[in-house]
Amino acid sequence: MPNPRETHVTTPGGQYQPSMDVLEQSPARQPGVVPGVPTLTAEEFNEARQIYFQRCAGCHGVLRRGATGKALTTDITRERGLEALRDFINFGSPAGMPNWGTSGDLTDRQVDMMARYLLNEPPQPPEFGMAEIRETWRVNVPVEQRPTSKQNNINIENLFSVTLRDAGQIALIDGDTKEIVTVITTGYAVHISRSSASGRYLYVVGRDGKVNLIDLWMPVPDSVAEVRIGLEARSVETSKAQGYEDRFVIAGGYWPPQYVIMDGATLEPLRVESTRGYTVDTQEFHPEPRVAAIVASHYRPEWVVNVKETGKILLVNYEDLRNLRVTSINAERFLHDGGLDRSGRYFMVAANARNKIGVVDTREGRLVSLIDVSTTPHPGRGANFDHPRFGPVWATSHLGSDVVSLIGTDPEGHPQQAWRVVQELNGQGGGSLFIKTHPRSRNLYVDTTLNPEAEIASSVAVFDIDNLDKPYEVLPIGEWSGLTEGQRRVVQPEFNRDGTEVWFSVWNSQAQESAIVVVDDRTRRPIRVIRDRRLVTPTGKFNVYNTQRDVY
């Protein structure tokens, strides 16, 4: 398979879930000819397959069964016909389908080719079971050769793991000095970084399914083990229950749809489980239910695993891997991202295409509520704070509207406000990916990374938590970066350990310079701009202390 850093073409201008482009070179057999259905040459088939994985699969699914985007199975596409499909691809739709033709992303020839491609059965990428997983497993530094105490002067609790998306790397940046400690080669387009319960280890997962284990105690932190859990992935989490700290790690696959449990110190794959099954609403079988966010329970030795397309939340108990106990909770389809409330008891998760937030009680292991919110919630991990009138709340922003929804999370102290939207704030616009605050902050930051207006995409809105009726202030992060080229999309606020600074990525394309802007939370003014040629397309930033303790 070619180096993904050489073949990757997705840019910040791409769509919300662009690409399963790591699958574009995977072997696949061209479906046979069907009478009356337009055909493709072998060359067209390979080109169309690559375009589909690059542009379409993230929303419509590898097997075209639908997710954030509508299903494109042949019973639907053949009923619409070739001409209608051409128009759909060319002009897009008000529901969110991009105008791939008129935007210039696809030529007229490619639009016609993709319409014919959709009239034929989709090719299926290969499976990736335990044998294939174990073939990729490498322990670069055995446990017995690793340090027995910390061998560097880094303040690990204020260390940031920064995704260098298109470089296939992460940068470890010292939060005290703002200097890059090291750059580590990982899987391509790392989606998240997760700290182990002890804080010693860092786990990162790339969109190509590669998991790296990084030892932060080494003189220069580096990857000590690696494994691929599939061909496409998004999530990784460690065991945090008392007595199980650093013992296990779990990663969830987009393709194949499965999760893999591994040894926490070596990444040795121990168990793989498929998530294929029946949807919670129509009870129909779905062959491609992808694993989205995973969080570790603070109450039980369990992981909370979100299965996107079926709408099921799995509580995976890791006490006995041989006799695995899994509690399946029916929630709502198209589960995506989310985080814990301030107490750590309730998990708040966005069913983004259904415009709902699900609430799971991780102590009792049950669904508490499904809450209606605005269009396409995308909270990241969300934001927790004490509302001046309604008590503890958890907040989400949205991709499809400018609304910020505040949901009450205190059923004992504020029962009248619990599990309902107590207030809606209006921000700059749609296209938000992340919202953030900190227990020591009185500010609520909302990005608008995917907003079509360049000025809005390169800035953030900040609300005063003590006076939420006051208009938000716009921080021109892109302008503060000093960068003059590119679209300068600003993404993912992340606080330092003490909650005194908030870091923003200024995300340009791979060929352009990017930066990180550090803002003083009290004054809301920049205090440092980190510009370095090694900061290639920085996106997610994960402070070790905050990630370790689920502080957000």
> Which tokens hold the place of 380?
């990241």
Distance, in Å, from the CA atom of 354 to the CA atom of 367, rounded to the nearest integer, reads 17
Helices (H), 52-169: 57-60, 74-80, 82-91, 108-119, 130-136
Bridging pattern class, strands 501-507 and 489-495: antiparallel
Q: Which of 56, 113, 114, 262 is catalytic?
A: 56
Distance of CA 430 to the CA centre of its chain: 18
Active-site residue flag, 113: no
Helix (H) or strand (E) holding 397: none
The one-letter code for the residue type at 91 is: F
Distance of CA 125 to the CA centre of its chain: 22
Active-site residue flag, 60: yes
Distance, in Å, from the CA atom of 8 to the CA atom of 50, rounded to the nearest integer, reads 11
Sequence-distant (≥ 6) Cβ neighbours of residue 479 within 8 angstroms: 458, 459
Distances (CA, A) of 91 to 86, 105, 195, 212: 8, 12, 44, 41
3-state helix, strand, coil in the chain (%, to 5): 15, 35, 50
At 546 the three-state DSSP class reads: helix
Helix (H) or strand (E) holding 448: none
Q: Which of 1, 8, 20, 97 is catalytic?
A: 97
Q: Which of 8, 20, 59, 286 is catalytic?
A: 59
Active-site residue flag, 56: yes
Active-site residue flag, 218: no
> Which tokens hold the place of 16?
């919300």
Q: Which of 60, 191, 387, 398 is catalytic?
A: 60
Distance, in Å, from the CA atom of 552 to the CA atom of 494, rounded to the nearest integer, reads 9
Q: Which of 8, 191, 286, 378 is catalytic?
A: 378
Are 99 and 2 in contact by the 8 Å Cβ rule? The answer is: no
The owner of tokens 């067209």 is 44
Active-site residue flag, 114: no
Q: Which of 191, 336, 387, 398 is catalytic?
A: 336
Active-site residue flag, 336: yes
Longest dimension (CA), the chain: 69
**Cα-based torsion angle of the residue sequence 78, 81, 85, 88 in order, rounded to the nearest 10 degrees:** -110
Which residues are known catalytic residues?
Answer: 56, 59-60, 97, 336, 378
